[in-house]
Every structure is written in C-alpha cells, then in structure tokens.
Structure 1
Amino acid sequence: MKPEIITKGRLKPINNYDWTNIKLIASDMDGTLTKVEQFDSELFDTLDRLATAGVKVLITTGRSAGWVQAIATYLPIVGAIAENGGLLYWQDDLKPRFMSDLDFQEHRLQLNRVYRILKSKFPQLEESPDNVFRLTDWTFEVAGLSLTELEHIEAICNGEGYGFTYSTIQCHIKPIHQDKGLALDQVISQHFPDLKPEQILTIGDSPNDESLFNPEKFSLSIGVANIVRYRDHLQYLPAYMTSKFEGEGFRELAELIINS
C-alpha cells in the first residue's frame, strides 16, 4: 500500500513553481528514476526529451562504481556520481574521478572491519552482492532493519570514525564526510560554474538523498511522493514534492520542465 501523502511544511506541490529556467537536474536513481526497482521505456524517452530541451541530467546514486560506469555509458546523461559521493563518471571520459584521496587497500580493510563489528551485533545483516564492485563504501541490505536498529548502526559507525546512511535498497558504511551534496557541489563548481542556483534542481526519495535537500546549498530540491515515508526522520526536507511516486514522479516533473 502506498503511504498517504500529507503536504505540510516546506513540501510544496511542484506545479506551484515556474520551471522554465532549469538547466541541470541532479537526480537520485533507485526509487526516483526507477519503477518497481527497474528502468522502463518511458524513462529513456523522458531523458532523451530533456536532453533535446537543453536540460542536462546528472545521476547521483549510492550504487557501486561498477554499476555506475555502465549507467553513465548507456543513458543519455552527462555523467553520474557513484557511492553517495565517492566518485564521478563523466560520459565523455569514463575514467573514475575520485572526490577524495584514499588508500583504497587500507580503506577497504577498515570498512570490512566496521562491517564485522556490526555483524557481530546484528547477525541478520546480509552483505550486498555488489560490494565486489565498490571502491569507497561498504553496503549491506536494508530489508528487515527497523528504524531503531538503523539508528543504533549509525551510532556504532560514527563511534568507529565512519559515516552511515541508507536508502530504500541498501545501508552504506562510508567516509564520514562523503555525501551526495558535497560531491554535487564539487561537480557544479568544476563543470557548471556559470549556472545560477535557480537553474539547478535536485531530486530524490530517501535518507541518502538528504544532503541534496539542504536549502543552504540547493534551493530547488524535490522529493518524489515516496519521500513521505521518511519525512519525520530527515533533518532537511525537500522544498517541493511530486504528486506521483518513483519514476512516475520524475516524469511528472520532467513534463513541467519540458513544456515550460
């Protein structure tokens, strides 16, 4: 059953804004571009139409470096940020661009150490199958974990000097300052220095997108309708919300931008 949508506070409907000037969309992937965990043909059409309209799309996802290199290759987008801000793939140069300096061999050992600590306290944890393709973070499945358990896991990670976040799909152990918002800030500075804040919008659906909703950095932030399930657990809420869920919400927004 889909959660009831209750619009209050800063969650304004997207049809209350004129989206004429948008030049860049920074979008989460799972739960925002997908529909029941998959891309559909309508998404490819929407991305093509945005590109034709002169609107660039940059994906910002928690998915692994291995997955995201393929995504940046095959989708009509300018690039993709992987591992919640760990690295960037640019469509015309698919070498990974790391957002911070890491000793990767030692870093992976430390991430594994923290995961083993969590596993000893929560034996039900299941390592994500894509860890073999990861460079900057370590993931395990979010399914079956309560909010109380997630908060306890975050406290343990912080105590070990690491950050933690989660999405509708996975939990992430990561460097404490690694997040989508910081990485996007760097990308905008380096690749889109002429864009004004009112020409950039961010969109997501879950706690690992929260840094994209920080109003001090991104004034035009949007949550697809499924964000409501997390609204009481986020420090930052998006400024606007679609009326539709998942990929249908993204397309709802895209239609407004294209038609404007």
Structure 2
Amino acid sequence: MLIPLVDAQFFREIRFIATDMDGTLTQGEKFTPALFQALESLAEAKIEVLVTTGRSAGWVHGVKHYFPVAGAIAENGGVFYAHDSDIPQMLTPITDISQHRQKLAAMFDQLREQFPQLQEAEDNRFRLTDWTFSVAGLGDRDLQTLAKICQQEGWGFTYSTVQCHIKPLAQDKATGLQVVLDRHFPQITPQQLVTIGDSPNDESLFDRDRFPHSVGVANVLPYRDILTHCPTYITTLPECAGFCELVSLLVKK
C-alpha cells in the first residue's frame, strides 16, 4: 500500500535527499524554473541533494557542476562525481574499461539478434560502466525477455522512461548510493535520508529495509505491479511537480 506523502511523519528528520533525475526532476523532459527554486529552498534549509541517475558519466559531469547539489551518481550507481571534483569515482570495480565496453557491445549485439529494432543510445560514447539503448517501442513482455537474456549471460538489466541499460550484475542505484554515503556523508543516518524516483531503475531506492523514507512521484504508479520494491510514499503530482511537493513539505516542517 502506497501512503500519500502528505500523511508522512518523517519531515523533521530529513537532512539529505537522493533523487532520480529524468521523470523526477524534469517536467515534460525539461528542467523548469520550479526545479531550481526548489533546489534553492533546500539549500536554504540546509538539506543536501544528491542526484542519482541512469544518465552517462559525461552528461552527469555537467549536472553536478551547474546544479546546486552535493554531487551526482551516474549510470545507475556506476560512477560518482563530487560537487568539488571533476574526477569520476568508480563505484563499480572495473579493471579494464576498454575490454569491459567491448563485452557490453557484444551483449547488445546479441540482444539485437532477437530484437533487431533496438536503437543504440547516442550517449554510449560518454559511458564507462553500462550500455544503453532506447526503450521506445518495447512492451512489458519485451523488457522481461531482454532482462532474462542479460541475466543468463551474467549481466544486469534495468530501464527507465528514457533508456534500457545493460550493466554489471550487482550495479544499482542503492548500492552506489550506499558507497557514496559511507565515503562522503557518513554522518547521514537512514532516518535522515529520503529517496525519490519514478521508474523501475529506481526500484532499489525503494527498498524499505535500506531506505525507510522512500517516495515515488505519481508517474511511478503504472509500474507498481511489476516492482519488487515499491516506494513507501506517493506524491499527488507527477514528475518535477511531485518533487516540489516533497520539497514544500520538507522546508515547511
């Protein structure tokens, strides 16, 4: 059962937000003035924000530079950029990036033998740990089949409203987030953290055993029947409007 966010009681405790980006910080695939106003309100309230996204390491480097955030995790838990550093920190141990990417490309080619319509994402050239292709035109059954093939070959698979990801088996947002918290924000307790997202690649952030205060923006609802972990709380509004709904409750606590 998803609890309406307005009924939550944790607001006074929160000092840190770990948030997805696409479909959570965006509105209609765009960043809006409302987002930046919300981020400024959080900064004034001394609540830190960490972006955790499936976007590429190259793309996220810019996000952490221009957004008022403590840092950003890219590639669904694979890479971290601290706000004050341009050096990517690998969260998934990979000894040979070049060889790793060759193996990812081979896995993608194998998927295309069964799904020839798959379109490689243009941002793969900026990626380190995973391989992406467009989710457009893929139904639930297709996505389940793709996940099964990847798992049989020793790879993980996830998807968002934007892309599908072939990734190392143990790589996910929750694992990457925990590494970043332990290394850089050890003072933050689970009770002081809220996680928020909107799609299956955020599922690990909804694990109540790890993150008791998890929130789904309203556009997560179409996925609730296929998620092993559902968010504890749900916003009234979708996308960035839902994120702003959370921010409003936090800064007025």
Structure 1 and Structure 2 fold alike (TM over 0.5): yes
CA-atom RMSD in angstroms: 0.7
Do the aligned partners of 2:92 and 2:129 also contact (CA within 8 Å) in 1? no
How far has the Cα of 1:173 moved from its partner? 0.2
How far has the Cα of 1:123 moved from its partner? 0.7
Query: Aligned partner of 1:166: which letter?
Result: Y
1:181 alignment partner, one of 174, 186, 198: 174
Map of 1:21 onto structure 2: 13
How far has the Cα of 1:42 moved from its partner? 1.0
Query: Aligned partner of 1:237: which letter?
Result: C
How far has the Cα of 1:101 moved from its partner? 2.1
> Residues 69-103 of structure 1: CA distance to partner in whole angstroms, max 9, x if unpaired?
00000000000000000010001112100012211
> Residues 111-132 of structure 1: CA distance to partner in whole angstroms, max 9, x if unpaired?
0000000111101100011111
Find the aligned partners of 1:105 and 1:133 in 2 and give their Cα distance: 12
> Residues 140-180 of structure 1: CA distance to partner in whole angstroms, max 9, x if unpaired?
00010010010000011111110000000000000000000
Gaps of 5+ in 2: none
Q: Trace 1:1-260 onto structure 2 (pairs within 5 A).
A: 9=1, 11-18=2-9, 19-102=11-94, 103-260=96-253
> Residues 228-248 of structure 1: CA distance to partner in whole angstroms, max 9, x if unpaired?
010000000000000000000
Length-normalised TM-score, structure 2: 0.98
Query: Aligned partner of 2:242: which letter?
Result: G
Find the aligned partners of 2:54 and 2:92 in 1 and give their Cα distance: 16
Query: Aligned partner of 1:160: which letter?
Result: E
> Residues 204-224 of structure 1: CA distance to partner in whole angstroms, max 9, x if unpaired?
000000000011110000000
Superposition misfits of 4+ residues, deviation over 6 angstroms: none
Query: Aligned partner of 2:23: which letter?
Result: G
Give the fraction of aligned pairs with identical amino acids, expressed as a percent. 50
Query: Aligned partner of 2:114: which letter?
Result: K
Find the aligned partners of 1:193 and 1:70 in 2 and give their Cα distance: 25
Query: Aligned partner of 2:191: which letter?
Result: E
Length-normalised TM-score, structure 1: 0.95
How far has the Cα of 1:189 moved from its partner? 1.2
Query: Aligned partner of 1:110: which letter?
Result: K
How far has the Cα of 1:191 moved from its partner? 1.7
Gaps of 5+ in 1: 1-8
